[in-house]
Chain A
Amino acid sequence: QVHLVQSGAEVKKPGASVKVSCMVSGYTFTDYYIHWVRQAPGQGPEWMGWINPNSGGTNYARKFQGRVTMTRDTSISTAYMELNRLKSDDTAIYYCARDMAKWQLLFDYWGQGTLVTVSS
């Protein structure tokens, strides 16, 4: 069974950084891209970018370029998303999601979500 398990909720002050992890199981980590998607309260999901766990290559949404870094550790089948210079409107649930095939931009398995709250 495929599982994506994310790290726990975070509370951060404006200007700080947050790093969320996503550990996968039930399939070969390097076979599928991992995407990061966030969802602010009452809003639709918003795509942030992807990482190719095989090569480490990344592609970030223009909105987050310069502020987000996606990495992975293949030895523990875990992907990471770090967001810097946090603002109050970064308060959201952050999800990792598996791409159902090579770069289809379709998300068939999701993590449970990590609530990141940015507040002074």
Chain B
Amino acid sequence: DIVMTQSPDSLAVSLGERATINCKSSQTVLHSSTNKNYLAWYQQKPRQPPRLLIYWASTRESGVPDRFSGSGSGTDFNLTISSLQAEDVAVYFCQHNYNTPPVFGPGTKVDIK
């Protein structure tokens, strides 16, 4: 199974500042036949299910604010919140969908400084 790691475990950022989360996979999730990175990001607020934010490493799901962006390729990916808002306080998970089983990272908690 592909192992997903995230860093940092948590971070605190001032309102309006940038937050960046890193995700690494134990093997490439770039599919040679489609040239797509099979990597997604989810946001989870307390007592709610995860919400899909980004897939194919950089495609925003419908309705997701454009302050959220994804980048990276192969085994190394980032989620960036360009200007942190109060409603962005949450835990963020990466997940590969390269093959079964799809595996989630352990999560990064984002708070306001």
Contact = CB atoms under 8 A, between A and B. Distances in A.
Interface string A6-49: 00000000000000000000000000000000000001111100
Interface residues of B, number: 20
What band does the interface of chain A fall in when counting residues whose beta carbon is under 8 Å from B? 20 to 34
A44 B97 contact: no
Contact of B106 (A43, A62, A97): A43
Secondary structure of the B contact surface, majority rule: loop
Contacts, number: 45
A1 B95 CA distance: 25
B108 to A, nearest CB: 10
Interface of B: 38, 40, 42, 49-52, 55, 61, 93, 95, 97, 100-107
Given A44-B93, A107-B50, 18 more contacts: A43-B106, A44-B105, A45-B42, A45-B50, A45-B95, A46-B104, A47-B102, A59-B100, A95-B49, A97-B49, A100-B52, A100-B55, A105-B97, A106-B40, A107-B52, A108-B52, A110-B49, A111-B49
